[in-house]
Amino acid sequence: MKKSLAYLSLLLLILSPLSGGEDYRVESQPIAIEEAITIPNQGILKQKENGFVYLDVSNEFITAVVPLLDHEGLLRARPTASRSIGAHISVFHEQENVTPDELGDVFFFEAKEIRSFTLHTRDGLKKLWVIAVNSPELENLREKYGLAPKLKGYDYHITLGKQMPSAPENWETVEHLSEFNFSDVPTEGLFTEGDFVKIEDSKILSTAAKVNAIGQLKLKGNGFVYLDVNNAFIDEIWQQLPLQGEFDPVSTQPKKMGAHISVIHEDEMIGKEIWNLAEAGEWFSFEVKELRYVDRKNAKGAKRLWLLAADSPALERLRMHYGLKPKLQNHDFHITIGNEQMELPSLLDEDNIDIDEVFEFEPAARAS
């Protein structure tokens, strides 16, 4: 009888899907939604200390449903530990300043479908998976307090987790060179002009040339892709820089990223839905060609970022393989050496950037 009701609910789901203005994708997950329909469809209305009001529902919506989802990459389930809010349905945002008399009451809902959507946050793009639910009772509750029936106009939902890029099993032990090192696909090469200053220093370039110019492609937990290169590009070079102010080299201590080349930003991975980075662990070659610096201003004052500009046709081909522009944010590949504290009147009034991931300057021309 339980199975019959589940299949009947699935049929009704197909015939009468939820409507809404959100930009989402309805995921075909018959096994998972069947399981969701069997979980008790009720919750208790609760409020956090900050004023956020939510319907506390069974954690089975996460613990029992997420393992049944068929998806690419990884799906990091929402935490269900005792210290976390766990599975819930958002009802009133804290900024709406509502403390309903119905706190502690039971409200019912109906699981309708499984959706995914990309959310733009101040921390970057997030690809979320949710169970969309229908709840006239919650709509009536919001209207009772003079608000729109749905929070921010979105359908009620239970967040399951966020989808993240993944790498092949045991990718850290890969020892072979990437095929992109041997491709004849044309590449751009280094820019000859831009918002940077090129420093002629044969001694530093000679030191860099003695370091093995090959690195392993790695994937961070947040989806950021970088080439892990020899720390000697920092440790053996920064003390040779023609410095004028206090210098803070990129840390090469254990558990730090150390010397690296940024390759694909996490927003690109999620935006392009690159969920399986097959090349993770492979080795890519590059050539350090120039010593450069770029001056920037931020709230803490003026800084000069020192870097080694590197040419890597293999990395350009990797990006193009995934439908991306040849270079990250159209900037030359580089190894950031560190920050020099400066006080230069000619510096641009711009925010400083994250030296561990993205280094910004305006390219103007390419080498022929």
Q: Are 143 and 177 members of one domain? A: no
* The predicted structure's pLDDT at residue 363: 36
Q: How far apart are CA 220 and CA 166, in angstroms?
A: 9
Helix (H, G, I), strand (E, B) or coil at 63: helix
Q: What tokens does 58 get? A: 């069974």
* Number of structural domains found in the chain: 2
pLDDT per residue as tens digits for the range 241-272: 999 999 999 999 999 999 999 999 999 999 99
Nearest-angstrom CA–CA distance, 265 and 9: 41
Which one of 103, 129, 164 terminates a domain? 164
pLDDT at position 343 is: 72
DSSP single-letter state for residue 251:
P
Do 176 and 147 lie in a common domain? Answer: no
pLDDT in tens, 186-242: 999 999 999 999 999 999 999 999 999 999 999 999 999 999 999 999 999 999 999
- The percent of residues in the chain predicted with pLDDT above 90, rounded, is 82
Tokens read off for 333? 């590949």
Shared domain for 290 and 270, answered yes or no, is: yes
**Claim to verify: residue 137 and residue 228 sit in the same structural domain:** no
Residues in a beta bridge with 44 = 56, 106
The residues, any chain, with a CB within 8 Å of residue 51's CB and separated by 6 or more, are: 92, 94, 95, 97, 98, 99
| Domain termination site, one of 112, 135, 164 | 164
> Which positions ≥6 away from 275 have C-beta within 8 Å?
71, 72, 73, 163, 164, 165, 166
Task: Give the pTM.
Answer: 0.84
Q: Answer yes or no: do 263 and 346 share one domain.
A: yes
Q: Which residue has the tokens 């350009």?
A: 316
Q: Give the end of a domain, one of 134, 164, 194.
A: 164
- Work out the number of other CB atoms within 10 angstroms of the CB of residue 303: 24
| pLDDT tens-digit series, residues 81-125 | 988 999 999 999 999 999 999 999 999 999 999 999 998 988 889
DSSP states of 203-226 as a string? HHHHHHHTS--EEEEEE-TTS-EE
Structure tokens at 208: 């860099």
Where does residue 191 rank: exposed (0-12), middle (13-18), buried (19+ CB within 10 A)? buried
Residue written as token pair 């093995």: 212
Max Cα distance, the chain (Å): 80
pLDDT digits (tens, 9 = 90+) for 169-180: 999 999 999 999
pLDDT of residue 347 exceeding 80, the answer is no
Distance of CA 126 to the CA centre of its chain: 6
DSSP 19-62: --SS--EEE--HHHHHHHHHS--EEEEEE-TTS-EEEE--THHH
Q: 70 is in which domain, residue-wise?
A: 2-164
Average pLDDT estimate for 63-72: 98
Say whether pLDDT at 355 is over 90. no
- Smallest CA-to-CA distance from 124 within 357, 359, 361 is with 357
252 shares a domain with 187:
yes
Identify whether residues 9 and 118 lie together within a single domain. Answer: yes
